Chains A and B, each alone.
Chain A
Amino acid sequence: MMETIGPALVAICLLIGAIFTLVAGIGLLKLNDSMTRLHAPTKVGTVGVGAMLLASMIHSFVLGHESYHELLIMAFLFVTAPISANFIAKVQLHKRNCDAPPLPPRDDTWSTYDVPEFDRHHEELEEFSEPKAN
């Protein structure tokens, strides 16, 4: 059973992974806005590599030495991809590469743009000391 249907399952998973990875590369290259470009590789590319890892796991079952190690890499990639995407989105926001988000309804500003109390004190000091230096 496994000898006949196993290689076909491996080939199907490899094809799914290849198509998803190709879509991620094209999206990263061809989209024309930096925030839009963020969407393509962080989601699609992760699914593509996940399908390839699934193919590797099925292939180990076909060869006869079972291994579940690939689940570890899959879980790690699926957990860390949104975190790195969030960090890159924060970089884009701070570099003002995209439209600024509308102001929040209650507070002064979003917490990403907010300056901590300590740094705000230092900024005031610098502003205060500038006329003296001149």
Chain B
Amino acid sequence: MSEMPAFLEYTLIFTFVVVALSQIMAMIRLVIGPDTGDRILALDTMVVNAIGLIVLLGIAQGIQIYFEVSLIIAMLGFVSTVAYARFVLRGDIIE
């Protein structure tokens, strides 16, 4: 952490903990989810939370490289959610 005010460091640590908690909750829903739709929704939420964690890492280290990583994860997450839903709906992804 490079020349950051103390209150910003504490806020950053709090945000890390909260997003990790949300990720764990989504993981629990992924395991106990009673149906396929809940599991797809939990995976989608985990992708969005992972983007948040990577952005937080970029803020903490003051590096710009993490932008590309989060953009690619956002695109892959959307495509995988649509692919899962389409597989459940039609029994096939590309017809």
Chain A: residues with CB nearer than 8 A to chain B? 7, 10-11, 14-15, 17-19, 21-22, 24-26, 28-29, 34, 37-38, 41-42, 45-46, 48-49, 52-53, 55-56, 59-60, 63, 65, 67, 69-70, 72-73, 76-77, 80-81, 83-84, 87-88, 90-92, 94-95, 97
Within 8 Å by CB of B38, from A37, A69, A70, lies A37
Please report whether the interface of chain B is mostly helix, strand, loop or mixed according to DSSP.
Answer: helix
User: What's the interface size class on B, roughly?
Assistant: 35 or more
Q: A77 touching B51 by the CB < 8 A rule?
A: yes
- In the complex, are the beta carbons of A56 and B55 less than 8 A apart? yes
Q: In the complex, what residues of B have CB within 8 A of residue A56's CB?
A: 55, 58-59
A28/B59 contact (C-beta < 8 A), A15-B11, A88-B85 known: no
